[in-house]
Amino acid sequence: MSAPTPLPPLESPTRPVRFMHQGEVHTVQGLPPTTTVLQWLREHAHCTGTKEGCAEGDCGACTVVLGQPDASAPGGVALKSVNACIQFLPTLNGQALFTVEDVAATNGGQAHPCQQALVDCHGSQCGFCTPGFVMSLWHMYQHHEHPVSREDAADALSGNLCRCTGYRPILDAADQMYKAPRIALDLAPVADALQRLAAEDTGTFFYEARDAADPGRKVRFIAPRTLPELARWRAALPEARLLAGATDIGLWVTKQFRALGDILYLGRVEELKAINPWGPPEAPQGLEINAGASLEDAWRLLARHVPALREIWLRFASPPVRHAGTLGGNIANGSPIGDSAPVLLTMGAEIVLRHGDATRTMPLSEFYLDYMKNALQPGELVQALRVPLPAAGSALRAYKVSKRRDSDISAVCAGLWLRLEGDTIAEARVAFGGMAATARRALKTEAALVGQPWTEATMRTAQAALAQDFTPLSDMRASAAYRQRVAANLLERWWLETRPASPLRADVIQVWPATV
Amino acid sequence: MNQTVEPFLKQAATAAGQSKPHESAHLHVTGSAPYTDDILELTGTLHCALGLSPVAHGQLLGIDLDAVKAMPGVVAVITAADIPGRNDCGAITHDDPILADGELMYLGQPVFAVLSADREAARRAAATAAKVIRFKELPALLTPQEGHAAQDYVVPPMHMVRGDAATALAAAPHRMDLHVDLGGQEQFYLEGQISYAVPRENDGMLVYCSTQHPSEMQHHIAVALGLHSHHVQIECRRMGGGFGGKESQSGVFACIAAVAARKLKRPVKLRPDRDDDFMITGRRHCFYHDMALGYDDEGRVLGTEVSMVSRAGFSADLSAPVMGRALCHFDNAYWLPHVAMHGFCARTHTQSNTAFRGFGGPQGAFAIEYALDSIARQLGKDALDVRLANLYGVDTNNVTPYGQVVEDNVLQPLLGELIASSDYRARREAIAAFNAGSPVLKKGLALTPLKFGISFNVVHLNQAGALVHVYTDGSVLVNHGGTEMGQGLNTKVAQMVAHTLGLSLGRVRVTATDTHKVVNTSATAASTGTDLNGKAAQDAALTIRKRLTQFLADRHQVPAESIQFANDCVEVAGNALPFNVVVTEAYMARVQLWSDGFYTTPKLHWDRETMQGHPFYYFAYGAACSEVLVDTLTGEWKLLRADVLHDVGQSINPALDIGQVEGAFIQGMGWLTTEELYWHPKTGKLLTHAPSTYKIPTASDCPEDFRVKLFDNRNVEDTVYRSKAVGEPPLLLPFSVFFALRDAVSSVGGHKVNPPLRAPATSEALLDAIDAVKAAQAKA
Read off the pLDDT of residues A143-157 as tens digits, 9 standing for 90 and up.
999 999 999 999 999
Evaluate whether B646 touches B733 at the Cβ level (below 8 Å).
Answer: yes
Shortest alpha-carbon distance between residue B373 and chain A (Å): 25
Nearest to A511 among B638, B678, B706 (CB): B638
What SS3 class is residue A155? Answer: helix
Averaged pLDDT, A80-90 = 98
With vertex at residue A432, the alpha carbon angle to CA A426 and CA A436, rounded to the nearest 5 degrees, is 130
CB within 8 Å: A257 and B192: no
Identify the active-site residue in B186, B247, B676, B728. Answer: B728
Q: Is A146 on the interface with B (CB under 8 A)?
A: no
Question: Are A162 and B665 in contact (CB < 8 Å)?
Answer: no
- Residue of chain A minimizing CA distance to B38: A48
- Number of C-beta neighbours around residue A348 at 10 A: 17
Domain B6-33+463-600: assigned CATH number: 3.30.365.10
Write down the CATH superfamily of domain A17-101+187-270. Answer: Beta-grasp domain (3.10.20.30)
In chain B, list all ranges with CATH 3.30.365.10.
6-33+463-600, 403-458+607-780
Q: What angle do CA B17, B728, B769 make, to 5 degrees?
A: 135
Q: Which residue of A has its CA nearest to B277?
A: A54
Contact B180, B490 (CB under 8 A): no
pLDDT the model gives residue A5: 62
Write the class of the CATH domain A274-509: alpha beta
Q: Mutation target for A interface from B698, B741, B763: give the one with most A CBs within 10 A.
A: B698
| Sequence-ordered list of residues with C-beta below 8 angstroms from that of A165, at least 6 positions apart, any chain | A122, A123, A124, A125, B659, B662, B663, B666
Q: What pLDDT, in 10s, does the model give residues A14-27?
A: 999 999 999 999 99
Taking only the tens place, the pLDDT of each residue in A217-235 is 999 999 999 999 999 999 9
Q: Which chain A residues have a beta carbon less than 8 Å from that of B120?
A: 39, 212
Q: How far is A10 from chain B (nearest CA, A)?
A: 27
CB contact under 8 A, A169 and B638: no
> How far from B93 is each of A58, B324, B356, B462, CA to CA, in Å?
36, 15, 19, 20
B chain contacts of residue A482, beta-carbon cutoff 8 Å: 763-764, 767-768
Residue among B421, B480, B475 at smallest CA distance from B641: B421
Beta bridge partners of B304: B293, B339
The 8-class DSSP code of residue B114 comes to E
- In the DSSP assignment, the letter for residue B532 is I
The partner residue sitting opposite B240, judged by closest CB among A49, A127, A168, is A127
Considering only CB atoms, which chain B residues are within 8 Å of A125? 22, 241, 486-488, 659, 663
pLDDT score of A262 more than 50: yes
By Cβ distance, the residue of A54, A122, A508 closest to B690 is A54
Q: ipTM beyond 0.95?
A: yes
Q: What is the structure's pLDDT at B12?
A: 36
Sequence letter at residue A102:
D
Query: Are A124 and B637 an interchain contact pair (Cβ–Cβ within 8 Å)?
Result: no
Q: Which of A163, A258, A416 to mutate to test the interface with B (most CBs of B within 10 A)?
A: A163
Chain B residues with CB-CB distance to A171 below 8 A: 699, 702
Cβ distance of B486 and A164 shorter than 8 Å: yes
Q: Are A508 and B26 inside 8 Å of each other by CB? A: no
Question: Looking at the complex, does the CB of residue A104 fall below 8 Å from at least one CB of chain B?
Answer: yes
We find that the CATH architecture of domain B403-458+607-780 is 2-Layer Sandwich (3.30)
Give the domain ranges of chain A. Answer: 17-101+187-270, 113-176, 274-509
Q: What are phi and psi of A189, to 5 degrees?
A: -65, -35
Stretch A358-378: mean pLDDT: 95
- How distant is the alpha carbon of residue B576 from its chain centre? 44
Number of A:B CB contacts under 8 A?
Answer: 276
Q: Which of A124, A161, A411 sits opposite B25 (nearest CB)?
A: A124
The answer to whether residue B186 is catalytic is: no
Please tell me the distance from the alpha carbon of residue B778 to that of residue A465, in angstroms, as a whole number.
Answer: 24
Residues of B in contact with A111 (CB under 8 A): 26, 29-30
Q: Which CATH number fits domain A113-176: 3.40.50.300, 1.10.150.120, 3.40.50.720, 3.40.50.10490?
A: 1.10.150.120
Residues in Cβ contact with B162 at an 8 Å cutoff, skipping those fewer than 6 apart: B336, B337, B338, B339, B399, B401, B402, B403
Q: In chain A, what residues touch B708 (CB-CB under 8 Å)?
A: 168
- Contact partners, residue A238, CB within 8 Å, separation at least 6: A378, A379
Rounded average pLDDT per 10-residue block, chain B, 780 residues: 37 67 97 98 98 98 98 97 98 96 98 97 98 98 98 98 98 98 98 98 98 98 98 98 98 98 98 98 98 98 98 98 98 98 98 98 98 98 98 98 98 98 98 97 98 95 98 98 97 96 96 97 95 97 98 97 96 96 98 98 96 98 98 98 98 97 98 98 98 97 98 96 97 98 97 97 98 93
Question: Region A332-355: what's the mean pLDDT?
Answer: 95
Give chain A positions within 8 Å (CB) of B702: 154, 166-168, 171
Judged on CB neighbours under 10 Å (0-12, 13-18, 19+), A120 is buried
